Structure 1
Amino acid sequence: MTTSTRPKTSMEGVASAGRALTLLSAFRKGDDAVTLAELAARTGLVKPTIMRLAVTLEEHGYLIRLPEGSYRLGAEPFRLGSVYQQSFRVEAHVMPALEKLVAATSESASFYVRSGQQRLCLFRVDSPHPLRLHVRQGDMRPMDDSATAQVLRIFENPSSPKAAKTPLPIYSSGATDPHIASMSVPVFGPGENFAGALSLTGPVTRFNRDAAEKATKTLLNVAADLTRSLGGALLHNPGQP
């Protein structure tokens, strides 16, 4: 499920395909229609190149060109996103796990995967408290020093020495936002493949280290149950007996 940097092979990619993907990746959450000038600014591609790429992408349902000349995403990316989620049977397993975490801790629970140099909130259940970090499913967050980002970096290679030596859960405070603390553990799928990061977040005034320590057993148990339900194998955690 993770998107990671793959080792370079002797076979080179197709430049035009790379430019087309760059163009698609320029669309951001909340965009309705994006002008040609804005797409050029976001991608660094020249306008004639964008227009040629857009013709092909429109033919295949990835883009729609509006009468005034701006562009918006077509239905094909949505279809692929649905296929992505359904193919891993993740939602049916993850959402109950998140709901269980929120019920037990009263903090927000999320499931993240890595998307290039960012992390994607794939699923989320909010805390019942009005004071909480407002993140929605589909939001991108930075690959910073937060607990979630650390889990995504360390465990994308579960067999690495660092993964084997990292105590769990990982806790961070103020990494992405000075007012927010988070705690995260890895979840695995079939064949010990890394599936994503299961995280709890809350305001630092409430979700301090003492509160995180109290929630540790619950988070580890829910992550273990989720790993088993996804067909994964549990890894030894040096931070626990």
Structure 2
Amino acid sequence: MSVAGRVAGVLEAFLPGDVRLTLTEICRRAGIPLTTGHRLVGELTAAGFLERLPDGPYRIGTRLWRIGAQAAGPRGLRELALPYMAELYAATRENVQLGVLLGDRVLCLERLRGPHSVPVVSRVAGELPLHSTGVGKVLLAYAPEALTERLLAAPLPAYTPGTITDPARLRAELAEIRRTGMAHTQEEMTIGACSAAAPVRGPGEEVVAALSVVAWRHSADLRRLDPAVLEAARGLSRDLADLD
């Protein structure tokens, strides 16, 4: 493995969304010896690409964050989405999430959360599964057929007792999402949480992202949240269409 490949492996160790990793965890994920990892991590930390925390683990440094924030596609979508996400949060006072398809996962581009919102597992730049989240179901419903079939052919992990793991049931739900333009979850990713999500369309009506509200299941009426989520997603879609 080249030096560049080893450096890339060290940085990609943080891709699953883990904020803090020990040196041993980084080396194991990167597939490099501990001695090599110690040297590379030390150099990356000195350069500001990684940061060592007082109790020992490492996290992504501000220098790498500043470089990554300049990525044209995600940055443009995020900047256009933020006003609509802020309006959606003001209307619901619940978690608001923006996600895009990344391989067979959801990449969380942005998240707004209030002090009384239900705790969620998502974090900015973190990844989520497709089959058990509102944003994921939207993206899966409009994903290329090959991706959908590959995911449905593999075992679907259960994150809670409410996670849909039956391929036939999930396939029917995806068809309903395409029919209604809305996806819903009930305690499928996090106990106590529910969500409503809608597609965001780019030029040519292609679905490029998904926008969702995640709320407490015991107090939220998803059908009453649907209009606000739809309005925000459609407004963002109009802005994206104007860029064409």
Shorter-chain TM-score: which interval?
0.5 to 0.7
Change (3 A) 1:114 1:58: same
Aligned to 2:194: 181
Q: Which moved more, 1:133-142 or 1:221-230?
A: 133-142
Letter of the 1:133 partner, please give it.
Answer: P
Which of 216, 219, 232 is the matching residue for 1:203? Answer: 216
Report if the CA contact (8 A) 1:144-1:176 is conserved.
no
Distance 1:81 1:20 in 2: 16
Change (3 A) 1:38 1:142: same
Deviation (angstroms), 1:173: 0.4
Aligned counterparts, 1:105-124, within 5 A = 105-124=92-111
Look up the SS of the partner of 1:229 in the other structure: helix
Aligned to 1:95: 82
Distance 2:85 2:41 in 1: 39
Q: Once the two structures are superposed, what CA deviation does each residue of 1:144-169 show, in whole Å capped at 9, x if it has no partner?
A: 422221112232449x9977944321
Deviation (angstroms), 1:116: 4.1
Which of 103, 116, 140 is the matching residue for 1:153? Answer: 140
Which of 19, 24, 30 is the matching residue for 1:30? Answer: 19
Unaligned runs of 5+ residues in structure 1 are 1-13, 234-241
Percentage of pairs with the same residue: 27
TM-score by length of 1: 0.67
Change (3 A) 1:227 1:15: farther
Whether 1:220 aligns to 2:214 is no
Distance 2:33 2:103 in 1: 24
Change (3 A) 1:223 1:73: closer
Look up the SS of the partner of 2:180 in the other structure: coil
Deviation (angstroms), 1:229: 0.8
Letter of the 2:118 partner, please give it.
Answer: R
Letter of the 1:214 partner, please give it.
Answer: R
Letter of the 1:107 partner, please give it.
Answer: E
Deviation (angstroms), 1:87: 6.7
Aligned to 2:181: 168
Deviation (angstroms), 1:22: 2.9
TM-score by length of 2: 0.66
Unaligned runs of 5+ residues in structure 2 are 149-173
Change (3 A) 1:50 1:106: closer
Deviation (angstroms), 1:82: 1.4
CA RMSD of aligned residues (A): 3.9
Distance 1:60 1:193 in 2: 40
Aligned counterparts, 1:123-162, within 5 A = 123-127=110-114, 130-134=116-120, 135-157=122-144
Aligned counterparts, 1:78-93, within 5 A = 78-84=65-71, 88-93=75-80
Decide which structure has greater helix share: 2
Change (3 A) 1:220 1:74: closer
Letter of the 2:198 partner, please give it.
Answer: V
Look up the SS of the partner of 1:145 in the other structure: coil
Q: Once the two structures are superposed, what CA deviation does each residue of 1:9-68 show, in whole Å capped at 9, x if it has no partner?
A: xxxxx987665433211135433x742x332223333336646866997899755899xx
